Structure 1
Amino acid sequence: MNPIAANIKDIQERIANACRTSGRPLDKVRLIAVSKVKPAALIEEAYAAGQRLFGENYVQEFRDKQEQVTAPVEWHFIGALQSNKVKYLKDSVHMIHSVDRLSLAQEINRQWGKTPAVVDILLQVNIGDEESKAGCTPEQLEELARQVAQLPHVKIRGLMCLPPYCDDPEEVRPYFKQLRQLAEKIAGLDIPGVTMEELSMGMSGDFEVAVEEGATLVRVGTAIFGERRK
């Protein structure tokens, strides 16, 4: 078994253990292989090992890589997104995780409306109130959800967060718990067209804790592909 296949197998086993620990069904958690700054060949290798979902952070890199990857992978865009680059994602990504403002959602709606089609999105919440990170504040979330829900070509499927980095995964747990509670609050509002099926949270160093707190999509890069050199 090659290293990438072995890493994916190990991560899936750890996800399964976290599901058992928290009493969650294993089929409720999916692994996104974060392939930014990794070559197309490694994506093909991961696909051959059974991985299907891949996350990219940079629009230009995604465009270049998409042309090189022949496997029918499911692309997720997970990075900060400028409105003027949305057009390059149209009809190419399954889900956009990083929608943090109405103007961005409006541009996504405009681009997908040309087909017309509907794209799944997640609302990004700046759960740690960090100036260096994107995301709406928890206090802004309800209003943003209500506004974006009016757009016919986007479908809010849940929330995403990038919590503050901590060496100890247990220190991140409260942030994951808070995002889950925010999702439960939004779900309880019964906003037409809004579901809270997905929680995108957890990375290489803390995905097990994220799963225990309700993550449905975990974004793992380093633990699959190794350290980035860029």
Structure 2
Amino acid sequence: MDIKENLLNIKSQLPEHVTLIAVSKTKPINDLMEAYNAGQRVFGENKIQEMADKWEKMPKDIQWHMIGHVQRNKVKYMAEFVDLIHGVDSVKLLKEINKQARKHNRAINCLLQIKIAEEDNKFGLTHTDAKSILVSKELSELENIKIVGLMGMATFTDDMAQVKNEFKFLKSKFDEFKIIKSDNCDLKAISMGMSGDYHLAIDCGSNMVRIGSSIFGARNYD
């Protein structure tokens, strides 16, 4: 598996406005450094401790994205360095991120995760709850976070018509919500699409794709 070749091949297919997140969870630092040396600077992890370990050992010009479900008691381990947290699905989590960001005198960028899939095991806010958060007084008081977009995960299915509908739904909510602007809310990113469906996601309006196995090969779960 040639990580550099895979990466450059994918990048050559992406429109300029689309950010590629190399999903490096479970992968060793050697693999990440191959991608880094090929020019990749944005990496996504789904376990905070693993991400923190890699952050400590790798070059400091990397943007680290937390793409997995976030437990509030783990936020403190990434608050110093995380660039973007994708899976924000509650006001309680936003408050904890704000609290930990304040300790490091920085603002942390966040995406609200909208539940677009039919599967029960997918996390996320309803679109009505997300809108309530965006216009709430509670959000306006959190000075150390910035809501910069939305994230969604489509149903794990071969039915691409269903996936397309879910992506289009998220894009419609993004378009609806992006007129809501404040000091800590300015929606610019829409994170949807993974190795198997990122072309479709981009066609539906995504400007941030999370690609792992197509770059690094199958995940290691030893």
TM bucket, shorter chain: over 0.9
Say whether 1:207 aligns with 2:206: no
- Unaligned stretches of 5+ in structure 2? none
TM norm structure 2: 0.93
Query: For 1:143, which of 121, 124, 132 is the aligned residue?
Result: 132
Q: 1:39-73 deviations in whole A, cap 9, x for unaligned? A: 01111100111111000100111122222323631
Partners of 1:56 and 1:78 within 8 A in 2: yes
Query: For 1:28, which of 10, 17, 20 is the aligned residue?
Result: 17
Shift of 1:229: 2.6
> What secondary structure sits across from 1:224 in the alignment?
helix
The aligned residue for residue 119 of structure 2 is 130
The aligned residue for residue 229 of structure 1 is 220
Cα pair distance change 1:149/1:60, threshold 3 Å: same
| C-alpha RMSD of the superposition | 1.6
Partners of 2:66 and 2:85 within 8 A in 1: yes
Give 2:36's aligned amino acid: Y
Query: For 2:47, which of 55, 58, 63 is the aligned residue?
Result: 58
> How many Å separate the matches in 2 of 1:71 and 1:94?
12
Shift of 1:189: 3.7
Shift of 1:169: 3.7
> What secondary structure sits across from 2:82 in the alignment?
coil
Shift of 1:33: 0.1
Say whether 1:13 aligns with 2:12: yes
Shift of 1:186: 0.9
Shift of 1:11: 1.0
- Unaligned stretches of 5+ in structure 1? 16-25
The size of the alignment, in residue pairs, is 219
Partners of 2:195 and 2:212 within 8 A in 1: yes
Q: 1:146-195 deviations in whole A, cap 9, x for unaligned? A: 23343111000000011101225443111111111101111234455322
The aligned residue for residue 160 of structure 1 is 151
Percent identity of paired positions between Structure 1 and Structure 2: 39
TM norm structure 1: 0.90
Partners of 2:150 and 2:187 within 8 A in 1: yes
> What secondary structure sits across from 1:188 in the alignment?
coil
> How many Å separate the matches in 2 of 1:189 and 1:156?
11
> What secondary structure sits across from 2:187 in the alignment?
coil
The aligned residue for residue 80 of structure 2 is 91
The aligned residue for residue 40 of structure 1 is 29
The aligned residue for residue 92 of structure 2 is 103
The aligned residue for residue 220 of structure 1 is 211
